[in-house]
């Protein structure tokens, strides 16, 4: 299977931590030229010390910052072959009537609007390159109901609709568009989500963690590397005929809650 990305130009949003950081490492190891962004300059500085990437500080929910991100990416990469829309936040946890409007808007702003802001600038660059790949991060919450996490679930369902529609729109331009739907991904972020849900339900962290895994067929979390490997496959020649798909990498999540 050919997973080489030699000299491919890749932009990864939120690439200085978590899944994005592992994706950046995976693409660099495969021979790609990688540009990343993140909201935290300190995280970018730390990532650039250990990884051969270029970087821009950017909040993808801000259109002006996204404009600057793409100007930087064009300067450093000289074009674009792959966009990985990885940036996202967990959003608030709570009953819908208790969620602040500002928290809803922030979640949709980062998880869905930011994806649009990046994609609208990436597509002309991909067309100029003769085609390429867009990989959008959705979630198991983008195919299942997720009580107490309505903003996040709404955004991640939106990602799937955006992905499938865009794949039809740009297929004749040789641009593939797919979504990855991670399940329970090990790391600090899921620990925060579990903690928030446990507090909302008035139970312990360990009890909520056990409840979460009881609803996973394999009774295990997935790793950031699992997600990065799927992204590499979709972006590479091996995935050249895969488009319009929402692919779950989740160990068989049956239900969220």
**Residue of 208, 211, 188 whose CA lies nearest to 200:** 208
> What span, in angstroms and rounded, lies between the C-alpha atoms of 113 and 60?
8
Query: What's phi and psi for 57, nearest 5 deg?
Result: -75, 125
Q: Which residues are catalytic?
A: 152
For 120, other C-beta atoms within 10 Å of its C-beta total 12
- The pair of structure tokens assigned to 169 is 């729109």
Who contacts 74 (Cβ-Cβ below 8 Å, separation ≥6)?
Answer: 80, 125
* Cα–Cα distance list, 219 to 113, 212, 237 (Å): 33, 9, 32
Angle, alpha carbons 157-158-159 (nearest 5°): 90
């Amino acid at each position: 299977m050919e997973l080489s990305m030699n000299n491919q130009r890749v932009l990864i949003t939120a690439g200085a931590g978590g899944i994005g950081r592992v994706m950046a490492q995976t693409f660099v190891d495969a021979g790609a030229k990688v540009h990343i962004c993140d909201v935290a300059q300190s995280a970018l500085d730390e990532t650039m010390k250990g990884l051969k990437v270029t970087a821009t500080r950017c909040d993808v929910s801000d259109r002006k910052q996204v404009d600057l991100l793409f100007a930087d990416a064009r300067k450093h990469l000289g074009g674009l072959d792959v966009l990985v829309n990885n940036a996202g936040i967990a959003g608030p946890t709570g009953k819908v009537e208790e969620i602040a409007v500002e928290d809803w808007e922030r979640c949709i702003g980062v998880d869905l609007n930011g994806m649009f802001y990046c994609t609208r600038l990436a597509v002309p660059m991909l067309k100029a390159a003769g085609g390429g790949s867009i990989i959008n991060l959705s979630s198991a919450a983008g195919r299942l109901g997720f009580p107490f996490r309505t903003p996040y679930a709404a955004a991640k369902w939106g990602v799937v609709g955006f992905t499938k529609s865009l794949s039809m729109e740009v297929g004749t331009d040789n641009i593939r568009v797919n979504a990855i739907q991670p399940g329970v991904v090990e790391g600090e972020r899921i620990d925060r989500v579990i903690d928030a849900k446990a507090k909302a339900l008035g139970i312990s962290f360990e009890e909520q963690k056990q409840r979460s895994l009881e609803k996973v067929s394999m009774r295990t979390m997935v790793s950031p590397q699992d997600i990065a490997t799927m992204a590499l496959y979709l972006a590479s020649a091996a995935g050249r005929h895969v488009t319009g798909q929402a692919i779950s990498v989740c160990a068989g999540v049956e239900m969220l809650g």
